[in-house]
Amino acid sequence: MTTYTARPVPPTALKELRSVDDAGRRTVPLVDDEGGAPLRCCLRRSEPGETIALVSYAPLRRWSAQTGADPGAYDEQGPVFIHADDCAGPDLAGLPFPGAHRTLRRYSARGHILGGRLVEPPESFDDAFAEAFADPEVALVHVRAVEYGCFLYEVRRP
């Protein structure tokens, strides 16, 4: 059985996002009084009192810049929470943000959507990723929250 690895927002992107987000807006830190925000920098939920920021992030655009892909109209940006300052990054044993409905959106090496699917608890994410990567055209998968459609993390071909 293949184990799939969740990829957080890369450190170089985080450094940029902590000053200006992918929509060109200045990043504004805030104290999270309640906690529970899904942090894309360390792939865990925030704790009450942590300083975080809500920024616009374009994961496919950034991946495309590295690979030379041209996602065209599939390029999109959306809101994600990150720590406002450097953090240690993920410390995971398994996939983050378990126990909720998620959408897996599959992308080709060109950056085009090849399809997607809903994963519902208690369904195995490993099985859903294996299904996605069984298609040789799939280069990466974005995991998104169903409720808001937000990008949570990326999984690349093993």
Grade residue 19 by pLDDT with cuts at 50, 70 and 90: very high
89-142 pLDDT, tens digit per residue, is: 998 777 898 888 999 999 999 999 999 999 998 888 889 999 999 999 999 999
CA distances from 4 to 49, 142, 153 (A): 32, 12, 12
pLDDT digits (tens, 9 = 90+) for 33-85: 999 999 999 999 999 999 999 999 999 999 999 999 999 999 999 999 999 99
Q: Which two tokens stand for residue 55?
A: 């920024």
Q: How high is the pLDDT of residue 154?
A: 95
The angle formed by the CA atoms of residues 99, 153 and 22, to the nearest 5 degrees, is 135
pTM of this prediction exceeds 0.95: no
Render 82-115 in DSSP notation, one character per residue.
EESS-------SS-SS-SS-EEEEEEETTS-EEE
